[in-house]
Chains A and B, each alone.
Chain A
Amino acid sequence: MSPAITADDAVPDAAAARSVDELALVERFRASARAADREAAFAALFAAYRARVFTLCRHLTRSAADAEDATQETFVALLRALPTFRGESSLGTFVHRIAMRVAIRQRERSVRHADLRVEPPPATTAGQADPVEAGEDRRRLWAALEQLSLEHRTVIALFAVDGLGHKEIAAVLGIPEGTVWSRLHLARKRLAALLAA
């Protein structure tokens, strides 16, 4: 398997350029007196982060519908939080921390409503030797993921988001980089044990 190198690691300048644009958008959102300008700036931020926020929420919640709700709530909370953003962390860290907290609450809510069934994403079995077996493996994988503790699941979820580097993951979780690697290792060990059981 080819290593999943993130976009930020591969092209460091891309991350820097993106953060400059994002800061300009945040400034435009905060400074503009016209509602239309603020909405345009917010729409650009939504377009930049929607896929990554959804991916993170999808790995932390139980279904696509829950993930969509959590994604919407994340952006509403982001609107409330943007005036307090001081640029101490990257905007990405800021957005993903909000998304994680919202997704955890959404997950709590779905447990409260006794909707304990995990809904894996629809199978993409085209081109696979045995689609039935592949589908069963995927169901087992998602069920095993569901059994992980939240701290293990969050680190696996963050590493599954395209374009998130390990430094940013450490910042999102608020833990040192070394702890990120050891937590990822323990999570994968646990997942492997669950799959082997």
Chain B
Amino acid sequence: MTPGPNRDDCEKFEIEIGMRQHGALDAAEEALLDAHLATCDGCREFARLSGATASTLQADVRDEVARIDWGAMERGIARLRRNYRLKLWLAPLFLLQVPLTFLIATGHLPPPDVMAVGPVSTVAIYVGWVWLVNRPFREVLAVVKSPEDLLRAYRRELRRQKLRTGAFVAVNGALTLFSAAMIAAVPDLRGKLIVAGVTAVMAAWTAYDLRWKLPRINRALAALGTEAEGSR
């Protein structure tokens, strides 16, 4: 009786099936693979399914690519670039916010002490705005600057996000409780309303992070898979 194929060999040949489909086997290796395929139904079926799957996926998207209006896509890129420039140009307006607001509210420019406080806050807002506008690019460009495992870098980024968000929820939650307790301690109604408003904003922020942001990060981590963790 002829012995059946060894499972360890099948594993090796299954990897080689993928390599052959992408032209990475030499003639001798192909001959060995063919000899194995001639005797192994499981590997033949795996080769058939792998080939059919790869060609279907390629053909499906190739048809879609042929139908794309590239001119419209170029216009879309131009629009995104315009939006980005516009967002950056909006930033300098923040530098004028204190004198402008004062001018509109009172009809004259603010006194020197207010003018002195203004630049500090406006520069802080300006820096924050530019940081925010550039944030998506920073995330993307971080991965091309380093040649490391892209998915491992992504996993690290998600874990950092999770840690930051968790810490923020803890601190913000504690401050929200403290702020809520302070409402009763404030003597006048106007003060109570201001503290209640601040408390509501902080509570909403905490709830958003707990209800949507943390679950989204957890989902992304779960969808990543486990192999990238140990791959070298």
Known: A9-B22, A141-B53. A88 touches B147 (CB 8 A): yes
Size class of A's contact patch?
35 or more
The 8 A CB mask of B38-66 against A (1 = contact, 0 = none) is 00000000101111111111111111110
- Residue B143 CB within 8 A of the other chain: yes
Q: Is the CB of B57 within 8 A of A156?
A: yes
A122 vs chain B, min Cβ distance (A): 7
- Residue B187 CB within 8 A of the other chain: no
Taking CB atoms and an 8 Å cut-off, the chain B residues in 1-42 that contact chain A are 11, 14-15, 18-24
Known: A4-B21, A5-B23. A189 touches B14 (CB 8 A): yes
The 8 A CB mask of B126-151 against A (1 = contact, 0 = none) is 00000000001101110111111111
Q: Is the CB of B62 within 8 A of A80?
A: no
A156 partner residues in chain B, CB cutoff 8 A: 54, 57
Q: Is the CB of B139 within 8 A of A76?
A: no
Q: Is the CB of B76 within 8 A of A184?
A: no
Q: Is the CB of B220 within 8 A of A1?
A: no
Q: Is the CB of B55 within 8 A of A4?
A: yes
Q: Is the CB of B151 within 8 A of A150?
A: yes
- Residue A101 CB within 8 A of the other chain: yes
Known: A72-B73, A72-B76. A55 touches B231 (CB 8 A): no
Q: Is the CB of A186 within 8 A of B61?
A: no
The 8 A CB mask of A61-78 against B (1 = contact, 0 = none) is 000100010011101110
A77 partner residues in chain B, CB cutoff 8 A: 136-137, 140-141
B24 partner residues in chain A, CB cutoff 8 A: 9, 166, 181
Taking CB atoms and an 8 Å cut-off, the chain A residues in 166-197 that contact chain B are 166, 171-176, 179, 181-186, 188-189, 191-192, 195
A192 partner residues in chain B, CB cutoff 8 A: 46, 49-50, 53
B106 partner residues in chain A, CB cutoff 8 A: none
- Residue B232 CB within 8 A of the other chain: yes
Q: Is the CB of B139 within 8 A of A105?
A: yes
In angstroms, Cα B231 to Cα A159, docked, is 19
Size class of B's contact patch?
35 or more
Of A13-21, A23-31, A46-54, the one contacting chain B is A46-54
Q: Is the CB of A97 within 8 A of B57?
A: no
Q: Is the CB of B84 within 8 A of A76?
A: yes
In angstroms, Cα B65 to Cα A104, docked, is 20
Q: Is the CB of A50 within 8 A of B70?
A: yes
Known: A88-B147, A104-B154, A111-B216. A5 touches B232 (CB 8 A): no
Q: Is the CB of A124 within 8 A of B59?
A: yes
Q: Is the CB of B149 within 8 A of A141?
A: no
Q: Is the CB of B143 within 8 A of A101?
A: yes
- Which residue from chain B places its CB closest to the CB of A75 in the assembled complex? B77
- Residue A44 CB within 8 A of the other chain: no
Taking CB atoms and an 8 Å cut-off, the chain A residues in 75-99 that contact chain B are 75-77, 79-81, 84, 88-89, 94, 97-98
- Residue B164 CB within 8 A of the other chain: no
A133 partner residues in chain B, CB cutoff 8 A: none
Q: Is the CB of B143 within 8 A of A6?
A: no
Q: Is the CB of B58 within 8 A of A98?
A: no
Known: A1-B52, A138-B56, A188-B50. A149 touches B223 (CB 8 A): yes
In angstroms, Cα B6 to Cα A183, docked, is 21
Q: Is the CB of A183 within 8 A of B81?
A: no
Q: Is the CB of A121 within 8 A of B61?
A: yes
Q: Is the CB of A81 within 8 A of B150?
A: no
- Residue B111 CB within 8 A of the other chain: no
Known: A101-B154, A162-B62, A166-B24. A183 touches B80 (CB 8 A): no
- Residue B185 CB within 8 A of the other chain: no
Excluding A10-B23, A73-B80, A105-B136, 5 further A-B contacts by CB distance (< 8 Å) are A1-B52, A75-B77, A101-B150, A156-B54, A175-B232
8 A-B pairs with least C-beta separation: A149-B225, A5-B23, A1-B51, A151-B225, A121-B60, A9-B23, A174-B149, A121-B64
